[in-house]
Amino acid sequence: MLTTDQIEITDLHLRAIIGIKPDERQNHQDILINITLDIDTRPAALSDDIADAVNYRTITKSVINLVENSRFFLVEKLATAVAQVCLEEQRVQKVRVSVEKPSALRFAASVGVTIERSQNEL
pLDDT at residue 75 tops 70: yes
Q: What pLDDT does 13 receive?
A: 97
Strands 94-101 and 5-16: unpaired
pLDDT at residue 66 tops 80: yes
Mean pLDDT of 34-46: 96
pLDDT at residue 1 tops 60: no
Domains parsed from the chain with CATH numbers = 5-121 (3.30.1130.10)
pLDDT, mean over the chain: 94
| Band of pLDDT at residue 61, cut at 50, 70 and 90 | very high
Q: Give the span between the Cα atoms of 7 and 85, in whole angstroms.
A: 15
> What are the catalytic residues?
101
- Residue 94 amino acid letter: K
The 10s digit of each residue's pLDDT in 94-117 is 999 999 999 888 888 889 999 999
Residue spans of beta strands (DSSP E) within 1-122: 5-16, 29-39, 94-101, 111-118
Burial (CB count <10 Å: 0-12, 13-18, 19+), residue 39: buried
